[in-house]
Amino acid sequence: MLAIDGWFLIEDGLTYLLGSRCGDCGTIAFPPRPSCGHPRCAGTIPAPVRLSRTGTLWSYTNACYPPPPPFAAAEPYRPVTLAAVELDGLVVLGQVRDLTVADLRVGMTLELTSGPLADGPLIWMWGAPR
Amino acid sequence: MSVVVLGVGLHPWGKWGKPFQEYGVAAARAALADAGLHWTDIQYVVGADTIRNGYPGFVAGATFAQALGWNGASIASCYAACASGAQALDIARARILAGLCDVALVVGADTTPKGFFKPVGGDRPDDRDWLRFRLLGATNPAYFALYARRRMARYGDTPADFAAVKVKNARAGARNPNARYRAEVTTEQVLTSPMVADPLRLMDICATSDGGAAVVLCSPAYARRHGGRQVTIAAVSTVTPTFPQADLDLPMIASETVPQPEHGFKTALIRAAYEEAGIGPEELSLAEVYDLSTALELDWCEDAGLCPRGEAAQLLRSGETALGGKRPVNPSGGLASFGEAIPAQALAQLCELTWQLRGTAGARQVDSARIGLAATQGLFGHGSAIIART
Ligand SMILES: [Zn+2]
B142 min Cα distance to partner chain A (Å): 6
Per the prediction, chain A carries an average pLDDT of 95
Ligand 1 centroid distance, CA of A28 (Å): 9
- Average pLDDT on B127-148 reads 95
| Cα-based distances in Å from B277 to B269, B306, B314 | 13, 17, 28
Q: Which pLDDT value is given to residue A25?
A: 93
Ligand 1 centroid distance, CA of A36 (Å): 5
Rounded distance between C-alpha atoms, residue B256 and residue A38, angstroms: 10
The string of pLDDT tens digits covering residues B89-108 is 999 999 999 999 999 999 99
Rounded distance between C-alpha atoms, residue B327 and residue B338, angstroms: 20
pLDDT of A7 > 70? The answer is yes
Do residue A70 and residue B133 have CB atoms under 8 angstroms apart?
Answer: yes
Q: Which pLDDT value is given to residue B228?
A: 66
Tell me which H or E stretch contains B215.
Answer: strand B210-218
| In chain B, residues 50-109 whose CB comes closer than 8 Å to chain A | none
Q: Which pLDDT value is given to residue B123?
A: 83
The string of pLDDT tens digits covering residues B377-390 is 988 899 999 999 99
Ligand 1 centroid distance, CA of A42 (Å): 7
Which residues in chain A are closer than 8 Å to B159, comparing Cβ atoms? none
A59 touches chain B (CB under 8 A): yes
Ligand 1 centroid distance, CA of A111 (Å): 28
A65 touches chain B (CB under 8 A): yes
Are the beta carbons of B291 and B336 closer than 8 angstroms?
Answer: yes
A112 touches chain B (CB under 8 A): no
B119 min Cα distance to partner chain A (Å): 8
- Average pLDDT on A27-43 reads 92
One-letter amino acid at B321 equals T
Tell me which H or E stretch contains B264.
Answer: none
pLDDT of B369 > 70? The answer is yes
Task: Identify the CA nearest to B228 among candidates B346, B354, B364.
Answer: B354
Which residues in chain B are closer than 8 Å to A68, comparing Cβ atoms? 115-116, 118, 133, 139
The region of weakest confidence among A100-104, B1-5, B192-196, B371-375 is B1-5
- Complex ipTM > 0.90: yes
Fill in the DSSP letter of residue A3. Answer: S
Which of A59, A71, A80 lies at the smallest CB-CB distance from B146?
Answer: A59
A130 min Cα distance to partner chain B (Å): 23
Which residues in chain B are closer than 8 Å to A65, comparing Cβ atoms? 116, 196
Three-state secondary structure of B223-247: HHHHCCCCEEEEEEECCCCCCCCCC
| In chain B, residues 254-283 whose CB comes closer than 8 Å to chain A | 254-259
Rounded distance between C-alpha atoms, residue B139 and residue B116, angstroms: 7
Rounded distance between C-alpha atoms, residue B293 and residue B205, angstroms: 4
B310 touches chain A (CB under 8 A): no
The string of pLDDT tens digits covering residues B302-358 is 999 999 999 999 999 999 999 999 999 999 999 999 999 999 999 999 999 999 999
Tell me which H or E stretch contains B330.
Answer: none
Which of B138, B147, B257 lies at the smallest CB-CB distance from A82?
Answer: B138
Rounded distance between C-alpha atoms, residue A101 and residue A103, angstroms: 5
Which residues in chain A are closer than 8 Å to B149, comparing Cβ atoms? 59-61, 106
Q: Which pLDDT value is given to residue B125?
A: 84
- How far does Cα A77 stand from its chain's mean position? 22
Which residues in chain A are closer than 8 Å to B293, comparing Cβ atoms? none
One-letter amino acid at B248 equals L
Which of A37, A71, A106 lies at the smallest CB-CB distance from B133?
Answer: A71
The string of pLDDT tens digits covering residues A73-114 is 999 999 999 999 999 999 999 999 999 999 999 999 999 999
DSSP string of B118-160, one letter each residue:
-PPSS--TT-HHHHIIIII---HHHHHHHHHHHHHHHH---HH
Fill in the DSSP letter of residue B268. Answer: H
Q: Which pLDDT value is given to residue B1?
A: 78
Q: Which pLDDT value is given to residue A36?
A: 93
B135 min Cα distance to partner chain A (Å): 7
The residues near B271 (Cβ < 8 Å, ≥ 6 apart) are none
Which of B116, B126, B132, B134 best tests the A interface by mutation, with the highest count of A CBs <10 A?
B134
N-to-C CA span, chain A? 24
Strands B4-14 and B231-237: antiparallel
Q: Which pLDDT value is given to residue B122?
A: 77
To the question of domain B3-114+210-220 being in CATH 3.40.47.10, the answer is yes
Chains A, B: CB contacts within 8 A come to 114
Fill in the DSSP letter of residue A92. Answer: E
One-letter amino acid at A120 equals G
The region of weakest confidence among B197-201, B242-246, B272-276, B286-290 is B242-246
Which residues in chain B are closer than 8 Å to A22, comparing Cβ atoms? none
Ligand 1 centroid distance, CA of A45 (Å): 9
- Average pLDDT on B11-40 reads 97
pLDDT of B120 > 80? The answer is no
Q: Which pLDDT value is given to residue A43?
A: 75
Do residue B137 and residue A106 have CB atoms under 8 angstroms apart?
Answer: no
Rounded distance between C-alpha atoms, residue B273 and residue B303, angstroms: 12
Which of A37, A60, A62 lies at the smallest CB-CB distance from B243?
Answer: A37
pLDDT of B290 > 70? The answer is yes
Domain ranges of chain A: 8-50, 54-127
Q: Which pLDDT value is given to residue B249?
A: 86
Rounded distance between C-alpha atoms, residue B45 and residue B245, angstroms: 34
Rounded distance between C-alpha atoms, residue A86 and residue A88, angstroms: 7
- Average pLDDT on A26-40 reads 93
The model scores a pTM over 0.80: yes
